[in-house]
Amino acid sequence: MNVILAQPRGFCAGVVRAIDIVELALEQYGAPVYVRHEIVHNHHVVESLKAKGAIFVEELDEVPVDAVTVFSAHGVARVVENAARQRQLRVLDATCPLVGKVHNQGRQYAAKGYQVILIGEAGHPEVIGILGQIPAPVVVVRNVDQVEDLPFPANTPMAYITQTTLSVDDTKAVVLALQQRYPGIVGPDTRDICYAVQNRQTALRILSQCVDLVLVVGAANSANTVTLRTIAAETGVPAYRVAEGAELDRQWFQNVETVGITAGASTPEALVDDVIAALGNLAPLTIKTLPGREEQVQFNLPTGLIARSR
Point out the residues that are catalytic.
126
The yes or no reply on residue 129 touching ligand SF4 (CB under 6 A) is: no
Residue 307: count of CB within 10 angstroms of its CB: 10
Binder among 115, 164, 171, 208 for ligand SF4 (CB under 6 A): 164
Identity of the residue numbered 297 = V
Binder among 39, 46, 54, 73 for ligand SF4 (CB under 6 A): 73
| d(C-alpha 139, C-alpha 160), whole Å | 9
Instruction: State in angstroms the smallest separation of the CB of 77 from ligand SF4.
Output: 17
Cβ proximity of 100 and 139 under 8 Å: no
User: What is the longest distance spanned by two Cα atoms in the chain?
Assistant: 63
Phi–psi pair at 118, nearest 5 degrees: -105, 115
The yes or no reply on residue 197 touching ligand SF4 (CB under 6 A) is: yes
Instruction: Give 127's contacts (C-beta < 8 A, 6+ positions apart).
Output: 118, 120, 121, 140, 163
Tell me which stretch binds ligand SF4 (CB under 6 A): 93-101, 137-145, 232-240, 300-308. 93-101
Per CB under 6 A, contacts with ligand SF4 among 13-52 are 13-15
* Residue with smaller CB distance to ligand SF4, 124 or 205: 124
Binder among 3, 5, 6, 12 for ligand SF4 (CB under 6 A): 12
DSSP lists the bridge partners of residue 287 as 3
Q: Is 145 exposed, middle or buried (0-12, 13-18, 19+ CB in 10 A)?
A: exposed
Per CB under 6 A, contacts with ligand SF4 among 224-263 are 224
Binder among 228, 265, 276, 279 for ligand SF4 (CB under 6 A): 265
| DSSP tag of 295 | P
Binder among 21, 33, 98, 174 for ligand SF4 (CB under 6 A): 98
Instruction: State in angstroms the smallest separation of the CB of 274 from ligand SF4.
Output: 22
How do 2-5 and 258-263 pair as beta strands?
Answer: parallel
Instruction: State in angstroms the smallest separation of the CB of 98 from ligand SF4.
Output: 4
| d(C-alpha 46, C-alpha 54), whole Å | 8
Instruction: State in angstroms the smallest separation of the CB of 224 from ligand SF4.
Output: 6
Instruction: State in angstroms the smallest separation of the CB of 151 from ligand SF4.
Output: 30
Strands, E assignment, 134-192: 138-141, 158-162
| d(C-alpha 269, C-alpha 227), whole Å | 19
| d(C-alpha 120, C-alpha 162), whole Å | 6
Tell me which stretch binds ligand SF4 (CB under 6 A): 9-17, 51-59, 137-145, 206-214. 9-17
The yes or no reply on residue 185 touching ligand SF4 (CB under 6 A) is: no
Q: Which of 249, 222, 307, 298 lies closest to 10 in space, CA to CA?
A: 222
Tell me which stretch binds ligand SF4 (CB under 6 A): 191-199, 209-217, 246-254, 270-278. 191-199
Closest-by-Cβ residue to ligand SF4 is 14
What does the binding site for ligand SF4 look like in residue numbers (CB under 6 A)? Answer: 12-15, 73, 96, 98-99, 164-165, 194, 196-197, 224, 265
